[in-house]
Each structure stands twice: as C-alpha cells, then as structure tokens.
Structure 1
Amino acid sequence: MAEAHQAVAFQFTVTPEGIDLQLSHQALSEIYLSGVRSWKKRIIRLKNNVITGVYPASPSSWLFVVIAILATMYTRSDPSMGLIAKIQEHLPVSHSMSSQCQAVVSAVLFSTLLWLMLIFTMRLCLKQLLSYHRWMFEQHGKMSNTTKVWVALVRIFSGRKPLLYSYQGSLPNLPVPTIKDTVKRYLESVRPLMDDSKYERTTQLAEEFQGSLGNRLQWYLKLKSLWAANYVSDWWEEYIYLRGRSPIMVNSNYYGMDFLFVTPTPIQAARAGNSIHAFFLYRRKLNKEEIKPSRIPGTAIPLCAAQCERIFNTTRTPGEETDMVQHWQDSDYIAVYHRGRYFRLRVYQAGRLLSPREIEFQIQRILDDPSPPSKGEAHLGALTAGDRIPWAKARTKFFSTGLNKRSLDCIEKAAFFVTLDDDEQGMMGDDPAASLDKYAKSLLHGKCYDRWFDKSFSVVFYKNGKCGINAEHSWADAPVLAHVWEYALATDSFQLGYNTEGHCKGEVDSSLPKPQKLNWEIPPECEEQISKSLEVAQKLANDIDFHVFSFQEFGKGKVKKCRVSPDAFIQMTLQLAYFREQGNFCLTYEASMTRLFREGRTETVRSCSNESSAFVRAFEGGEAPEVCRRLFKAASEKHQLLYRMAMTGAGIDRHLFCLYVVSKYLGVESPFLKEVLSEPWRLSTSQTAVQQVELFDLVNYPEYISCGGGFGPVADDGYGVSYSLVGENIINFHISCKHSCPQTDAHKFGSQIKKALHDIVHLLSSAQPEPKKTETSRPKVKKDQ
C-alpha cells in the first residue's frame, strides 16, 4: 500500500468548516520534474531533427547564405538573376511594407530556397559518393587515384561532427542484382555440394527460372526498390523472424558474455547497480544522438543506424499468424525478475537518474524481499519461451484486461528486462572449460522461465557478480546490441568502478520508494498453458549441446603475419574441421552486414566454395605443401571477394528470398526457388567483432576481454558457430548443436577446430622466412619430461 499512498497527489475531506484539502508536495514535485524532463526530451529531439534534416550542412550555414546574398545586393549586383524581384512582386503582404523591407524579405526567401537547394545537392552528391564501392575490392595497401579522389570528396561532403542519424538521408538504397548474376553465383556456390547428375538437374531448373518466371518476379522487385528504402529488410523481419511460430528461445535469440578472466565485483547487487546505470547513460546519449555514427573500421564510410532506434523500450508481442515489434517512448523503469516474482524498479527520482549506489540499494531490496510469488507467477516467463501461437492465445484471453494487463504492460514497456539469478556462472571451479559451457547455456535459455525472451534484451546478473545478456533478434542484429554491451562493460569497470568493499561508489537516499512488486491473477487454465509451454521449452533447452572455449595459442596477430585475412583463415579452418568430422562439405552460412545501405541488415556469405573445397581435398589428400598453400591463398581470396560482394549488395540469398516472397504474393510456384529456400544451413557461422576498441586497454589490462557471444544451431543436424578475434592472441569460439542428432557433437567439433587451426597455421608459417637470429638470442632447449 505504500506505493499507492505515494502515488496520491492530493486528498480532500468534507468537514462542517468546509473542504479540507491536503496536497502532497513530493508528488506534485515529481509531476513537475517529470514534465520538465519530458519537455527537455522533446526540445532535444526537435533540435536533433533540425540538425539531421539539414545535414551535411548546418543550421548556422543558413545565416551565412542570407548575409552573403544581402551583401551582394548592397553592392548593386543581383545574384538571383531577377528571381528576388519576382518574389518581391508576389509577396502577399507587399502593400503593408516599405520597398526596402520588401527587398530584404524577398532576399531572405531567395536565400532560404538557395540554401535548401544547396543542401539537397550536397546530400545527393554524398549519396552518389557513398554508392561507390570499388575501393573495397582494391588490394590492401594499394589505393588507386580514383579512390584517393573519392576519399577526399567524401570527407568534404560529410560535414563536421555528425549526429548518430545524420547520414541516414544520404545512404544509398540497396541495389537489386540481375537475375542472370544471381543465378550464376548460386550455381557456382552449390557446385561443391552436388554430384554431376544433381548439379545438372539444378542447372536446368535455374535456366528455366531465369528464362521465364524470374524476369516477371524481378520486375516487381525493382518496382519495390524504387518505392521502399530497402527492398529486403521489411520482408526479412516479417517472414524470417516475426512469422516464425516455433519458440524464439534458442531458435532466434542469442546471448553475450561478461569478461572472461575477471569479475569486477563479487556482489550481485553492486554489479547490477553499475551496469544498469551504464545502460541508461547509453540511452541518454542515444536520445541526444551523441553516439558517433558507426563506420567501416579505418575509413570515413558510415553505416546505417536505423536499428539503433529500437534498442530500448521494445518488445516482440505474439500474434496467432505473425508477431509484432512494439516500441514505446522512454520509460523511467526496468522490469526485474527474482525467484519467481516480477518487480517494477524506477531508475529516475525527481527527474534525475539514480546513482549506481542507489540502484544497488534498490536491487538489494528486491534480493531481500521475502514475499512469495503469486499463484501461477513463478513460471510465467515460460510463455515467452514456448511456441508462439499458444502464447498469443493466452495473451489475448488472460492478459488483455485488468490486473494482468497492467502487470504485463509494465514488463513490455520497460526500458529492458533484468534477471537476478541465484546461480553462479563464469570460468570457475576445477573444470573451467565445462563451466563456460554451462554459462553459455544459462545465458541462452536459463531455466526457460526466468527470462522474458520477448524483450529487446534481458540482462542477467548472477549471484557471484558475473553477468550476461540475452537478446531477441527481430528488431536488430547482433552488432547493434554488442555496441551497447561493450559500452556497459567498459563504463562499469573503467569509469564507475567500485569501492574497496566491492560496492558501488556514492551515497544512498534511504527515502527512495521500494520497488513495486507486480501482481497477477492467473486462472488454472492459464497455469496449464504455462506448464505446456515450459515443457516444450525445457525439451528444446535440454537438447542443446554447447561448447565454448578460448583458443590462446595464437590469434589474428600471427595470422596477419601469414598475409591472410583473419576471417578467411577462420572460415577455411571451419571447412577443414567440418570435412574431417563429417567426411563431406555442407552449405555454410556466414553473416555479413549490408549497413552500407539504408535500413540494411545482413546478407549471406556462402563460405563453402569450389576453391575452399579444393584446398581441403588437397590438404587431406596429402598434396605437397606448396600446392596446398597456393590453393589456400585462392580459397581465402575467393572468400574475401564473396564477403565484399555480399556487403556491397551483390549477394545471392536475400535476392532469391525476395523473389520467393513475390512468387507467393502472385500465387505462382517456382520449383527452383522452392528448392533453393529449402536447403539446410548445416554450418551457420558469425563473427563477433569488437567495435569500440578505444574503450578497452588490452595492453595494460589484457584480462578485461569479453568471451563474445553465441546462438543456437540453425539446422537440427548442423552446427552454430560464433567466433571473436580478441586482441592479437585470442580467438573465442561458441559451438552449438543438438544432442538428438547422432552425427553432431559440439566438443568433438571443437577439437577438430583446434587441430585445424594448428594444421593450417603450420602450413602457412612453414613458407615464411625465419627471423634472423641475433648474437644475443639463444635457441630454446626442451627440458626432459
């Protein structure tokens, strides 16, 4: 009842003497400060919209143009070539102004029109410049004169100090590849996976499609590309993510880990206090658009920032046919789960963000709260972990009115979700390798009811101070969330810090209202559905086999010395490891971004190529090292070419996917597209790159590295592999598969990856000239075992 009492701004009673009115100054102060905060946000948004709207010019440049035009007029020259006089003739209020005033107003109007035309021209030029991608295909360290001129022009037209969304209006649209090119590249990609008869049949289907139905579908796709900002993204979000009716836990959601070797504090509430505060600092910077636009590393080329809009206050809500991503304006609270109970924790008081120490104090209150869960509340989160249709029906039937709706709204509209987990996780104990596997499974699915898988992201804080993050996939891709996660980890450890006892720094306002426990009225019928969803989720979770390991014997530093792309090196390693384990090749998915284009998301790099399979067969067949190195070089160069083509809009799979969607809308069947879209990705891979290297001092603090993150397998009989190259000497791997498939084993595949890493680097290093020995250097002598 304390919360209800604090929510009342005034009370009045009728007495014989009149009305006795009692005002709560604290409540009125809260109302006033909330209003001030809201108006500040509106003003900031308006200001940012103006700055972004006129980019790459600046609002102050308008004044410069006006002054320049007026100055030329006073020199008795007409820069408008008569247009100012025409404007003056048609001024609607000319009869109430002097002729001199009319001339000034006309000049200002002309200047404004000229300024807008200049902005439009500059934006168009920048858009054309950003459509140039030949620089990406040039040899490393060798830049053509054309590219040098292009780089200079991009810098000139990019303006100064861009905001987060400044480049959005200047990014080019994703181009639609030709049917001929896509079919040709597709046939090339599947050649190593098919025997001659099957390949001949596929070629015939592809040629029939290209010569008939393909052109008709392509016409609709080109029409869409002219109308929409991106011809892929909306369909990709809807049909790949939102229309999926299976559980999003494991199948869609992914996770990110904490620091690998250190835990900043062993106190759970303190770690939550700093981290939650850091997330809201990021949201504040996001709202003010103070976050620098992401760019291609080492260049001035911007990436699309559209996905950043839905990081916070976003939830995927279930529907019977399709889900929906809902985004709300900023909320001043988070939803917290602990021991089967849900709480609403406000992180703003009197218009200010609570300090880390105050958030720690509030989190500790939740941890110390002895109240039991409401009837049916303990496993409520399992609804978000099970199949989507039962959850959609239950949401409509049991959570659309009354107390349940208010509590559900509180969770869905929260900035993000927090789980206070009673387990201890991380690299610990007598078997640190096994503990990492357990840690990964905990972040991916937990107990299947202690995460809210529909939220844009959920942060998990463990009893021993370790933490991690679980993210829903439909609203954005992993690099966007990884950017937030890097900021939170760095801010927590290097800026906020802890006192000597491990608590957050600062003082506590003990008058803070307690976190509000959410209440539910869950009928037996709903409890039954919760139990069914939990059963489905637990069966799926128990089937997941995970293996996480940190390979520290060498990293990208040694790979670069071999003059090989680190990503190509890892992909060739995975091809060799898979072939050794399975005895064949498979369709391999590697995620590549298309954020060089407006509203771009991802494209597929088909890493298994004719060149990679030729290298693997030669290497396993015992060919001479010189031959293997030559084939490896050809395979890695082909992989880099495929990656660059995917980034620049010349990929295969998104184009074929959209053609398939158009065919469904038209009600026509294509045997070729049906076969292409039904092919299983038995090896699904992704690299987690560190984006904000400046936040982490790996030279002085090498232990402060994250282990990256991972995801579940895409195919029931395949592997999901996520990897991150940290610093110069560490490669982290996250491998997932299913126990139910007898052909897959995450640990065995991990062993094959380790062996392949050593074998390939030995092959490449043997061709490198040995460093000259100095007089002081001595060869190492092995000790007797």
Structure 2
Amino acid sequence: MAEAHQAVGFQFTVRPDGVDLKLSQEVIKNIYLSGVTAWKKRAIQFKNGVLAGVYPASPSSWLIVVIAMMSSLYIRIDASLGMIDAIKENLPHRDYISMQTRAVLSAILFATGLWLFLIYLLRYTLKALLSYHGWIFESHGKMSTSTKVWLSLVKMFSGRRPLLYSFQASLPRLPVPSVDDTIQRYLESVCPLLDSEQYNQMEMLANDFKDSKAAQLQRYLILKSWCGTNYVSDWWEEYIYLRGRSPIMVNSNFYIMDLLYVTPTHRQAARAGNVVHAMLQYRRKLERGEHAPLRALGTVPMCSSQMERIFNTTRIPGIETDIVQHLTDRKHLVVYHKGRFFQVWLYTGGRHLLPSELETQFQRILNDTSQPQPGELKLAALTAGNRVPWARARIKYFSQGGNRASLDLIESAAFFLTLDDEPQGYDPAKTKSLDSYAKSLLHGKCYDRWFDKSFTLISYPNGKLGVNAEHSWADAPIVGHMWEYVLATDCFHLGYTEEGHCKGDVNKGLPHPTRLQWQIPKECQDVIDTSYLSAKQIADDVDFHGYLFTEFGKGLIKKCRSSPDAFIQLALQLAQFRDQGVLCLTYESSMTRMFRDGRTETVRSCTSEAVAFVRAMEDEGATNAQRLALFRKAADTHQNMYRLAMTGSGIDRHLFCLYIVSKYLGIDSPFLKKVLSEPWKLSTSQTPQQQLNLVDINKFPKYVGAGGGFGPVADDGYGVSYIIVGENLITFHISSKFSSPDTDSYRFGQHIGKAMLDIQALFKSGNDKKTVEHAKHGQVENGKKQI
C-alpha cells in the first residue's frame, strides 16, 4: 500500500500534442522532507563519528595545536625541534607555492601529526589505567588512597561528554589466564561436589592435561588474543549459539516483562503506539551514538559493542550454522495478529510516525477481519522448531517470488511486533498470573513470535507488554537498557489522554498497513506443522513459577553488611539442598564488559565454603553464631569469585576456548571433554535494573519492572533469574520441566523464600540484632549500585 500511495503521486497521460504531467504537491513535499532528514541524519552520524573517533580529544583541540605551532613560527621559536623545517624541505616543489605558504603547510602537517600522537597517547594511557582492577577487590564502602588517585586519573583522561562508543578504543583486551591458575580454580570448584575417588581421578586428568597438551593450546589462544579484540566472544557466539541445531525457543531465547504494578493504559493499540515510538527514539540516539556509555562507579566504562545490533537484526538459519544478519536503518515494522502478517511503515515525510499515528495503524490491524492465507497462521513455528528443517524450508520455499519478498520484509524489519489476543500480566488476585505471563513471553503459542528476530515486542489486549529476545547477538543487560529507556519514555514523557489514547492529532491519511502475501505449498505446510508440534512439546514441558519475595530486599541485606548477590546465591544453594537433598554444579552469569567486546563469564557458586554453610544450616547441633560465621566466609568467597570472573580470571570461558583450539588441532583431551560435558543443574542470573536511572523508584515505587527469565538448562534442573527491585522486593523467575519427576518450580520458590528468611534470622542474634532492626525500621540508604 505504501509503495502504491507514493506511485500515484506522479500521473501522466500521453496526448497528440505531448505529455501532460501532473505532480502531487503532498508527495513532492514528503520526498523533499525525507531527503532533508536523511542528509541531516548523515551529517549528525558523521559529526558524532568524528567526535568518537578522536575521543578523548576534540576537533577544536586540533585548531588549538595548529594555532600554537603557527604562533611559534611567528615569534621565531621552533617548538618542533627542526621537524617543521624537515617537512618543508621534503614538500614537492611548485613554482606557484611561496616559501611562506610552504612553511604554513609544514606547520599544519606537523601540528596534525602531533595532535594525532597526543590522541593515541591519551588513549593508551587510559587503556593502561583501565587495565587496573584492584579497585573491584576492595571492601564495599572502603576505598584506599591508591584507588582514589586511580579514579581521579581515569576521570582526568576520560574527557568530557563522551558518546556511546567514545571509550571503545581505550578498553583493554580480555586477558588470557594462566593454565595453572584456571585448573587450580577448577579443581577447587568441583572439590565439594565429588567424593575422594572422583576428585582424585579428576585431578589426574587435569594434571595430565596441564603437563602434556595445555602449553600448545595456550600458545594458540594467546596468539588469538593478540590478533583479535576478544579471544572469547566470537567463538562463544558461533559455537554456543549459532552452531546449535536444536530449537532456540525456550532453550536459548529469554524474555523481559513489563512494569509489575502499573499499566499506563488498557488500550492495546495506544500502548503499542507509545512504546514503538519510544523505541524509534532510542534507535535514533543509538545510531547517532548519543546514549551515554554505561560506567561502573560512574567512571569505569563498559563495552557498548553489543548495542549496535539491537535493531534491524535477524538470526538466519543454516544447515550447519546460523548467521546473524544486521542491516542499516530500516523504515518498516512487521506486525503479527491472529495469523496475519502486516507491514507498517515507521516514517512519513522524513520523520518518525507519531504515537497517535502508530496507534491508528495498529488499531487498523486489530480491526482487520481478513483470514490467514493457507499456511500463514503457524508460519512462525518454523523459527521455533529445529534449525535444519527451517534452513532447508527457507532455501526450498522462500528463496524466490512473493514468499522471498515477504520473508525479506520480516528479516529486514526494525523488529517484530505481535498484537496478542489473550490478556496477560501480574494480577495479585490470581495466584498463577505471573507464571502464565512468563510462559506467554517465553514461547507464546509457538507460532505467534518470530524467534529469529533480535527481539519480538509483544502487546496484550489489556495494555500489558513484554519482550522475547534472541540470545546470540547480545546478552540480557543490553535489551534491559533499551527496555528501561522505553518504559520511562512511555510513562513519563509521552503519556496518554484521559481516555487512554496516545496524545496528538489522529492522522487518518496514512496508507493502511499492507498484508504480506504468501504462497505456501502443502509440502511446506507439513514442515511447518512438524516444527510446531516439536515446539509445542517443548513449551508444554516448561514448568514456570514467578515468585515475588516481599519480606525484605536490598536495603536490609546491605545493612547486614553483605552483598545482595552473595546473599541470594547462598539462599539458592540452601534451597537447592532442601529441594533435592544434594548440592550441584551451579552457573551464575557475570559480565566481562570492562573489556573490549566482552560478554559473560561463569561464576561457579557452589563453593566449599557454601557447602559448609548449607550443611551447618541443616545441622541442628550448629549454633547461629557458627552459621553466621560460615555465611560471611561463604559470601566473601563468592564475591571474590565474582570479581575474578569480571576481571578476566574466570574458569569456564578459558577452558571453553582451549577446547575449541583442541578441536581445530585434532587433539583429544579427556580433561576438556569432561569439563565441557558437566551439566549445570542450577543455572542462575541476576537481571540488572536502574542502568539508566531515568525513574526515581523511591518517589515512584510502583514504576518498577518485573525483570525477566529463561528456560531450564538441564532436563532435571532449575533455571533461576532474579531482579533486586529497589530496597524491599526481589522477584524470582523459576523454570524447570514437568517431565522431570524430581523438580517443581513452585516448590523451589517456596524453598527460596524459606532460605532467605532463615538466613535473615541469623542476623537477629547477638551483635547483629541492632543492625537488622535499624535496616527494617530506619532510613535505608541507597548505597552503591551493584554492577
């Protein structure tokens, strides 16, 4: 429809006396505005690219250096120590260039070279400063003099008003740990989980690997770290995500929920209109690099490279491996509603559609009563099933004609939007509302989300929203950053009318959304049905429970002088033991974004100290004082491991990369095979919140997100995602499989709540009683945000 609308702007008829040409002024105006906007966008991107390219210097500093060199020539002081004269002598001789002009050109060239040298000097000085991580190992609330001096130097060399990608060239490379350190830490991590015979066997395998094959593999890995920006990330993306042939729905994709307590409007089209407009604003700032880079302690920069692929990105299926396709700015969106696919243009006259205009377009789709074409209803199930059938079907049935054009529109869209037809969201009156909401976001009906898109925005009839995100291109904090911006913009900047509509005039002159056209043969419909049945079997097996822990939150935990993350991780260990009767290998995700192109590292939370604490909690003969001492020791150990993981000294990514090198070289390593085959029966992750601080949750306590979650990693284990929401709420997203007779997500949630309260009770005895009472009833300070 949009192409047709533009086409009728030019009308002409052929007459005997010539051609009669009629022009539509409205279309000409739109074309002119589109051109102006495009050139403005290019100019801003070029300007911001230059600013980021010369950071921490500025273009104006070049002029200052040039003026300084010119001034030195004028007062006959050679600040270049003869280099300007040498440049002048080597300039090509031309009769029309005077000696004075040659001197000026030489001074400008020298000044430019000096300016570039100073930029690189500043960058490498900042990189050297950022390679220091001693600050992260200091006790919370205490800062040594050396760290204060270091922070001052980082601030001094960081420049002013950095753009999103300003620090990329100054971020250090991820270091390759020594094999000895990695193996030692690995053996320490499995020691509490193995009996003496199993441990001795593992120790023999580790020592044999260290003495025979490790040195050769390590040399290749060090070489890779020198040649690339990050020795882990590209292999992690390829081998953990893209080469996987099993369904990505549930097994890989994750979800993020809407605001927990607030629904700004109950009109589905209006809420979708505001949020899509906010996403377009976020994308515009992203393309221009205008978002502020995330910085720990407000000073230490994090890598922003993952943010480049938030929009216009799709995972393309392949027979052996998938690829991530990222395109430049795309001006359309694909919307799914009741089995139909629609294309919606996001721009008109060189600007974004306004929220009210988007609401109009989405309402038109909701009002459309047309029926799905044959095979269209469950088409997206191809992205939910096994990758190989989808890849083959894509080649055979979607590589030409109308099917290819329609598929290209989906894969090139800014993102995918589903206008769902079943209300979801948290309802305190319904005990399983959060469970149903989570399952809807994670897998839906298995055919109403395009799981290959970087993310699918899901809009419900009651005004609630959510996101399903593909995992290969980025990690959850990246999507969370965008989501925080969108929700804050939606609620506090765009707003709604009293009737719940988007603000602004209604533009009914926009071209209607266009139905995508499909011609899907019976053979392809059979592949779709097979993928759907496979995906539905996975979805039906997901046992989800959303658990809101409201007894206390970060405020009380910090008053107990404990890390909130360590507190929760030890509670999870205690809950795991009570639920299963044994402890297990535990995965906690930690970020490594203080390094260039950093993604994640594993923290092995089940330590010897954690095991000792859990056993003391279950030992009726142990006193609370003994348990508390063991808790503090276990919490300190966990924090140290978390810090090691963040600073490049983790265990699992190093062993993973050594394994990849061994496969390339055809070297068999029983030790590495054993390590890489170990199951993570408890997989955990903390969802970050308040990355942008756009909403004061102390002033607006109801405007808090519910976090997000993921599917179970092991067939007989649990997946637990949690978010520490403000000072008095912690939300747990717990997943497992119904097919496992040993797991129950609701039961595990109850064990978590009981474990949290039991640990809190330890602080009520002895000298810690005043601390707890003060935390409960006194003024709770915000404290430093945990990174």
Same fold (TM over 0.5): yes
Task: Please indicate the TM-score interval, normalised by the length of the shorter structure.
Answer: over 0.9
Give the structure 2 partner of residue 289 of structure 1: 289
Q: In 2, are the aligned partners of 1:682 and 1:718 still within 8 Å (CA)?
A: yes
CA distance in structure 1 between the partners assigned to 2:512 and 2:428 by the alignment: 36
CA distance in structure 1 between the partners assigned to 2:2 and 2:727 by the alignment: 55
CA distance in structure 2 between the partners assigned to 1:746 and 1:773 by the alignment: 30
Give the structure 2 partner of residue 461 of structure 1: 459
Give the structure 1 partner of residue 44 of structure 2: 44
- State which of 571, 574, 577 in structure 1 corresponds to 2:572: 574
Distance 1:767 1:299, change over 3 A: farther
Code of the aligned partner of 1:714: V
Q: Give per-residue Cα distances to partners, 1:579-602, cap 9 Å, x unaligned.
A: 111111111000000000000000
Give the structure 2 partner of residue 608 of structure 1: 606
Distance 1:113 1:2, change over 3 A: closer
Code of the aligned partner of 2:497: N
Q: In 2, are the aligned partners of 1:94 and 1:102 still within 8 Å (CA)?
A: no
- 1:701 counterpart SS class: coil
CA distance in structure 2 between the partners assigned to 1:248 and 1:73 by the alignment: 66
Give the structure 2 partner of residue 87 of structure 1: 87
Shift of 1:141: 2.6
- 1:695 counterpart SS class: coil
Give the structure 1 partner of residue 649 of structure 2: 650
CA distance in structure 2 between the partners assigned to 1:429 and 1:71 by the alignment: 73
Deviates more, 1:302-311 or 1:257-266: 257-266
Q: In 1, are the aligned partners of 2:31 and 2:350 still within 8 Å (CA)?
A: no
- 1:573 counterpart SS class: helix
Q: Give per-residue Cα distances to partners, 1:104-143, cap 9 Å, x unaligned.
A: 1111111001001000111010000000001111122332
Code of the aligned partner of 2:396: K
Runs of 5+ consecutive residues of structure 1 not aligned to the other structure: 779-785
Code of the aligned partner of 2:35: G
Shift of 1:49: 1.7
Give the structure 1 partner of residue 728 of structure 2: 729
Counting only pairs closer than 5 Å after superposition, residues 698-709 of structure 1 correspond to structure 2 as 698-709=697-708
Give the aligned length: 773
Code of the aligned partner of 1:488: V
- 2:273 counterpart SS class: helix
- 1:661 counterpart SS class: helix
CA distance in structure 1 between the partners assigned to 2:175 and 2:770 by the alignment: 48
Code of the aligned partner of 1:638: T
1:262 matches 2:232: no
1:337 matches 2:336: yes
Counting only pairs closer than 5 Å after superposition, residues 163-562 of structure 1 correspond to structure 2 as 163-296=163-296, 298-428=297-427, 430-431=429-430, 433-562=431-560
Give the structure 1 partner of residue 782 of structure 2: none
CA distance in structure 1 between the partners assigned to 2:395 and 2:592 by the alignment: 37
Q: In 2, are the aligned partners of 1:88 and 1:94 still within 8 Å (CA)?
A: no
Shift of 1:721: 0.2
- 1:690 counterpart SS class: coil
Q: In 2, are the aligned partners of 1:562 and 1:765 still within 8 Å (CA)?
A: no
Q: Give per-residue Cα distances to partners, 1:260-303, cap 9 Å, x unaligned.
A: 1121111101100111111001011111211000111x330000
Give the structure 2 partner of residue 631 of structure 1: 630
Give the structure 2 partner of residue 782 of structure 1: none
CA distance in structure 2 between the partners assigned to 1:429 and 1:529 by the alignment: 41
Shift of 1:230: 0.2
Counting only pairs closer than 5 Å after superposition, residues 764-775 of structure 1 correspond to structure 2 as 764-771=763-770
CA distance in structure 1 between the partners assigned to 2:130 and 2:669 by the alignment: 36
Shift of 1:332: 1.2
Give the structure 1 partner of residue 716 of structure 2: 717
Distance 1:425 1:772, change over 3 A: closer
Code of the aligned partner of 2:581: G
Q: In 2, are the aligned partners of 1:456 and 1:472 still within 8 Å (CA)?
A: yes
Give the structure 2 partner of residue 783 of structure 1: none
Code of the aligned partner of 2:496: Y
Q: In 2, are the aligned partners of 1:163 and 1:293 still within 8 Å (CA)?
A: yes
Distance 1:770 1:214, change over 3 A: closer
CA distance in structure 2 between the partners assigned to 1:490 and 1:133 by the alignment: 33
Q: Give per-residue Cα distances to partners, 1:143-176, cap 9 Å, x unaligned.
A: 2222122111101110110000000000000000
1:122 matches 2:122: yes
Shift of 1:69: 1.4
Q: In 1, are the aligned partners of 2:313 and 2:326 still within 8 Å (CA)?
A: yes
- 1:713 counterpart SS class: coil
Code of the aligned partner of 2:246: S
Shift of 1:45: 2.0
CA distance in structure 2 between the partners assigned to 1:41 and 1:285 by the alignment: 11
Distance 1:768 1:555, change over 3 A: farther
Q: In 1, are the aligned partners of 2:88 and 2:102 still within 8 Å (CA)?
A: yes
CA distance in structure 2 between the partners assigned to 1:493 and 1:772 by the alignment: 37
CA distance in structure 1 between the partners assigned to 2:712 and 2:2 by the alignment: 48
CA distance in structure 2 between the partners assigned to 1:542 and 1:214 by the alignment: 44
Q: In 2, are the aligned partners of 1:591 and 1:602 still within 8 Å (CA)?
A: yes
CA distance in structure 2 between the partners assigned to 1:325 and 1:97 by the alignment: 54
Code of the aligned partner of 2:121: T
Deviates more, 1:693-702 or 1:680-689: 693-702
Shift of 1:16: 2.5
Shift of 1:703: 1.1
Shift of 1:403: 0.3
Runs of 5+ consecutive residues of structure 2 not aligned to the other structure: 778-787
Counting only pairs closer than 5 Å after superposition, residues 155-170 of structure 1 correspond to structure 2 as 155-170=155-170
Code of the aligned partner of 1:190: V
CA distance in structure 1 between the partners assigned to 2:244 and 2:195 by the alignment: 33
- 2:442 counterpart SS class: helix
Q: In 2, are the aligned partners of 1:155 and 1:300 still within 8 Å (CA)?
A: yes
Give the structure 2 partner of residue 781 of structure 1: none
Give the structure 2 partner of residue 641 of structure 1: 640
Code of the aligned partner of 1:593: M
Shift of 1:693: 5.5
CA distance in structure 1 between the partners assigned to 2:159 and 2:385 by the alignment: 49
Shift of 1:466: 0.7
CA distance in structure 2 between the partners assigned to 1:698 and 1:284 by the alignment: 27
- 1:458 counterpart SS class: strand
1:584 matches 2:591: no
Q: In 2, are the aligned partners of 1:550 and 1:707 still within 8 Å (CA)?
A: no
- 2:266 counterpart SS class: coil
Give the structure 2 partner of residue 695 of structure 1: 694
Give the structure 1 partner of residue 619 of structure 2: 621
CA distance in structure 2 between the partners assigned to 1:511 and 1:605 by the alignment: 56
Code of the aligned partner of 1:245: R
Deviates more, 1:14-23 or 1:399-408: 14-23
Q: Give per-residue Cα distances to partners, 1:375-417, cap 9 Å, x unaligned.
A: 1101101000000000000001111111011111111111111
| Identity, % of aligned positions | 61
CA distance in structure 1 between the partners assigned to 2:481 and 2:290 by the alignment: 14
Cα RMSD between the aligned structures? 1.6
Distance 1:429 1:126, change over 3 A: closer
Code of the aligned partner of 1:711: F
Q: In 2, are the aligned partners of 1:3 and 1:516 still within 8 Å (CA)?
A: no
Shift of 1:768: 4.1
Deviates more, 1:27-36 or 1:260-269: 27-36
Distance 1:156 1:449, change over 3 A: same
Shift of 1:94: 4.7
Deviates more, 1:98-107 or 1:3-12: 3-12
Code of the aligned partner of 1:587: L
CA distance in structure 1 between the partners assigned to 2:40 and 2:202 by the alignment: 61
Shift of 1:31: 3.5
CA distance in structure 2 between the partners assigned to 1:506 and 1:93 by the alignment: 65
